[in-house]
């Protein structure tokens, strides 16, 4: 048997998701000899089987639902003679074309930055050396610095294994037909996004959620418009229920009173969370400290082992692509000698439900628990001209500002409403810059736009304590 091919490099990145490929590209840009290893396609969960494909399906479902609303009597003076016809395989093909384009773009950027890409599975023999099994054989890579960006994977219920009628979000994004009935276990953000999408495409959707409300990580005020929308769409939400078993699409669950109930679906989609991917690549041979089920890091994303770094989902919450990307860029610059650290004031979290939700910083309740005396004010989208002309003013959406009473520093910004995700950048910037109510109220916002609501909510907060 021939000897393994051997490679030495300055930086070795494991995983080409939004954290890994950003780290590799930045390392290459900074002139460091960089190798990135990916077992599947560049882009990771976010691009290939998560954020991007789900948003594509959400958009297609919104378009289909909107066109359907113009049949019959129509609206806005627009009438469609027949209900639109959905060719779902073509929808999936369109979604896949977007993934292909973005995947190709990532690969071009890696190549342009001088990064060597290896397609295969890496298994570490020690902290700085791994064997990568590729189609052309095993390549042994030894690096001065290792960046672990292995990401996360779907959580499987022990009593409801994936297979047959039981699917994860990965399979839900690649179905070849719209299921007539879809049962979803877990009403978190992934389940809700997909459930609303498939309902708009024509599925009969039911949720089984163990908690007493949907999206328990968000405050109740933010959730009310979403709850109203679910009801209007005719989505069945069963709260306080625990799924017990599944057989050929028939789910047995225990309701909040402890009674056994059943519900049938063409598919059963399990969306009970994600977990760090820490197995299968020899982490046990690297002698890094763990924090629960995550790799422990400091503010520079350093692990307990010298020159071994970890970024993204494998390091814990929040499991967000933009967090991973920011960490990846910072680690590359630290390795190159720049004095950087990962210490953001806030990271925006967006739930792409209908309506969308943004959460940045502390909610009023969280601020109160933290001992802050606060000013909290909100502006209803029903009073926003742009929201009215876009037909996005219904459903009780709003923009809310939470500030410290003593100095008016912004502690949190939250919103719920159609397309409010586009406000998340200004929300995060406001906390990062330690803006005050006066800063937001004193910034001239374009009229007519939805983000005028930020100005209005801030102004309302100031007027409360004039």
State the pLDDT at residue 3: 65
Whether 150 shows a pLDDT value over 50: the answer reads: yes
Q: Cite the DSSP H helix spans in 247-359.
A: 321-335
Whether 63 shows a pLDDT value over 50: the answer reads: yes
Beta strand 121-126 with 204-209 is unpaired
pLDDT tens digits for range 314-335: 999 999 999 999 999 999 999 9
Q: Establish whether 447 is a catalytic residue.
A: yes
pLDDT tens digits for range 331-366: 999 999 999 999 999 999 999 999 999 999 999 999
- Kindly indicate the confidence band of residue 466, based on its pLDDT and cuts at 50, 70 and 90: low
- Kindly indicate the confidence band of residue 465, based on its pLDDT and cuts at 50, 70 and 90: low
How high does pLDDT run on average in the chain?
A: 95
pLDDT tens digits for range 248-257: 999 999 999 9
CA distance 267 to 204: 11
Per-domain boundaries in the chain: 5-153+276-335, 166-272, 349-464
Q: Return the CATH architecture of domain 5-153+276-335.
A: 3-Layer(bba) Sandwich (3.50)
Instruction: Say which of 145, 408, 445, 447 is annotated catalytic.
Output: 447
State the pLDDT at residue 1: 40
CA distance 319 to 431: 20
Please give the helix or strand (H or E) that residue 5 lies within, else none: strand 5-14
CA distance 70 to 76: 9
pLDDT tens digits for range 209-239: 999 999 988 999 999 999 999 999 999 999 9
pTM: 0.94
Please give the helix or strand (H or E) that residue 111 lies within, else none: helix 88-112
Domains 5-153+276-335 and 166-272 share a fold: yes
Q: Return the CATH architecture of domain 349-464.
A: 2-Layer Sandwich (3.30)
In this structure, what token pair is assigned to residue 212?
A: 């007493």
Name the nearest CA neighbour of 315 among 129, 128, 149. 149
CATH number of 166-272: 3.50.50.60
Name the nearest CA neighbour of 296 among 325, 273, 274, 276. 276
């Amino acid at each position: 048997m021939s000897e393994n091919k051997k490679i030495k490099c300055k930086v070795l990145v494991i995983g080409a998701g939004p954290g890994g490929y950003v780290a590799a590209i930045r390392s290459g840009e900074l002139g460091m000899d960089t190798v990135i290893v990916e077992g599947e396609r560049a882009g990771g969960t976010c691009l290939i089987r998560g954020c991007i494909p789900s948003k594509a399906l959400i958009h297609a479902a919104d378009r289909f639902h909107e066109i359907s609303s113009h049949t019959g009597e129509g609206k806005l003076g627009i009438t469609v003679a027949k209900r639109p016809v959905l060719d779902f395989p073509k929808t999936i093909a369109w979604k896949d074309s977007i993934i292909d384009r973005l995947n190709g773009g990532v690969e071009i950027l890696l190549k342009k930055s001088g990064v060597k890409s290896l397609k295969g599975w890496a298994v570490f023999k020690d902290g700085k050396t791994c064997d990568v099994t590729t189609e052309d054989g095993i390549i042994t890579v030894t690096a001065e610095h290792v960046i672990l960006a292995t990401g996360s994977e779907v959580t499987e219920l022990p009593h409801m294994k994936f297979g047959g009628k039981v699917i994860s979000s990965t399979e839900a994004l690649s179905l070849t037909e719209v299921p007539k009935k879809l049962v979803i276990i877990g009403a978190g953000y992934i389940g809700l996004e997909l459930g609303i999408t498939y309902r708009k495409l024509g599925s009969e959707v039911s949720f089984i959620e163990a908690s007493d409300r949907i999206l328990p990580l968000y405050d109740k005020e933010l959730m009310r418009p979403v709850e109203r929308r679910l009801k209007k769409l005719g989505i069945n939400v069963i709260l306080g229920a625990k799924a017990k078993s599944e057989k050929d699409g028939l789910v047995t669950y225990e309701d909040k009173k402890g009674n056994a109930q059943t519900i049938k679906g063409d598919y059963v989609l399990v969306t009970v969370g994600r977990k760090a991917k820490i197995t299968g690549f020899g982490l046990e041979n690297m002698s890094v400290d763990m924090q629960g089920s995550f790799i422990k890091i400091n503010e520079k994303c350093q692990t307990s082992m010298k020159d071994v770094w970890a970024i993204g989902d494998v390091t814990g919450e929040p499991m967000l692509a933009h967090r991973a990307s920011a960490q990846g860029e910072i680690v590359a610059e630290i390795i190159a000698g720049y004095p950087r650290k990962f210490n953001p004031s806030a990271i925006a979290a967006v739930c792409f439900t209908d309506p969308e939700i943004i959460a940045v910083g502390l909610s009023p309740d969280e601020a109160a628990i933290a001992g802050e005396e606060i000013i909290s004010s909100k502006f209803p989208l029903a009073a926003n001209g742009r929201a009215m002309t876009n037909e996005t003013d219904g459903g009780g959406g709003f923009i809310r500002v939470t500030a410290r009473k003593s100095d008016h520093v912004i502690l949190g910004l939250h919103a719920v409403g159609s397309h409010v995700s586009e406000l998340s950048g200004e929300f995060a910037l406001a906390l990062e810059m330690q803006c005050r109510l006066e800063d937001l109220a004193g910034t001239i916002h374009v009229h007519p736009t939805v983000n005028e609501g930020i100005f209005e909510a801030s102004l309302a907060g100031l007027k409360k304590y004039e």
